[in-house]
Amino acid sequence: MTILFVAIGTKNRAKTLAITNIVSMYFDNLEFEQFAVPSDVSEQPFSNDETRQGAINRALHTLNASGADLNFGLEGGVHEMDGQMYCCNWGAMALKDGTIITASGAQFLLPDEIAVQLRAGRELGPVMDDYTKQKDTRSSSGAVGVFTAGLVDRTEMFEHIVKLLIGQYLFLLNTNK
Ligand SMILES: O=P(O)(O)OP(=O)(O)OP(=O)(O)OC[C@H]1O[C@@H](n2cnc3c(O)ncnc32)[C@H](O)[C@@H]1O
Ligand SMILES: [Mg+2]
């Protein structure tokens, strides 16, 4: 039976789980490999454009490193609307032939005491660790888990994006038949 090779462009546990959980729901005979690839955007993306570009860059670097069938890049960032800061999330999936599928996910409001620190140049990950007095929250609940009282964690948030990517891929497969 043919194996479907899936490459994951991060070592972050929350993102990785989102990809393995969702891809396993729709495909069999999978082989996963992780690659620590650059996003080629700021460590803390500050717009939807930059966050989306980070996801695309990660997916393309992952494709170059792996040559896999499906290559995922997921990126978190922030952007401002009407003086309020939102966390935004994007995903990209690169296919072997270079086709890129993109989707964005949930956006949620960051409290002002977090936003001021990001405007001063800090990254959301360490700011959240300070705020929660925990380590590496970016790999577990994430900011989304904290500010939704645990109702939505970072894995679940990225799972929705991965589902949108896989769904668009299946649509492409069906329409190109
Ligand atoms: O190892 P990688 O894949 O880079 O995973 P990451 O956790 O650093 O995630 P991103 O680079 O995509 O996110 C950009 C920045 O925003 C932070 N960030 C984004 N979403 C977050 C969340 O839900 N909780 C905590 N930090 C978050 C993250 O820690 C980075 O500082
Ligand atoms: Mg990062």
Whole-complex ipTM: 0.92
Q: Which residues line ligand 1 (CB under 6 A)?
A: 10-12, 15, 43-44, 75-77, 87, 123-125, 128, 137-138, 142-144, 154
Helix (H, G, I), strand (E, B) or coil at 92: strand
Question: pLDDT tens string for the chain (177 positions)?
Answer: 899 999 999 999 999 999 999 999 999 999 999 999 999 999 999 999 999 999 999 999 999 999 999 999 999 999 999 999 999 999 999 999 999 999 999 999 999 999 999 999 999 999 999 999 999 888 889 999 999 999 999 999 999 999 999 999 999 999 986
Domains and their CATH numbers in the chain: 4-175 (3.90.950.10)
CB atoms within 10 A of CB 96: 13
Which ligand is the nearest neighbour of the Cα of 46?
A: 1
Burial letters for 27-59: b for 16+ Cβ neighbours within 10 Å, e otherwise? eeeeebebbebebebeebbbebebbbbbbbbbb
By most ligand atoms within 8 Å of CB, the mutation choice from 51, 90, 138 for ligand 1 is 138
Q: For residues 48 and 168, give the distance between their C-alpha atoms in angstroms, rounded to a whole number.
A: 20
Which ligand is the nearest neighbour of the Cα of 14?
A: 1
Q: What is the pTM of this model?
A: 0.96
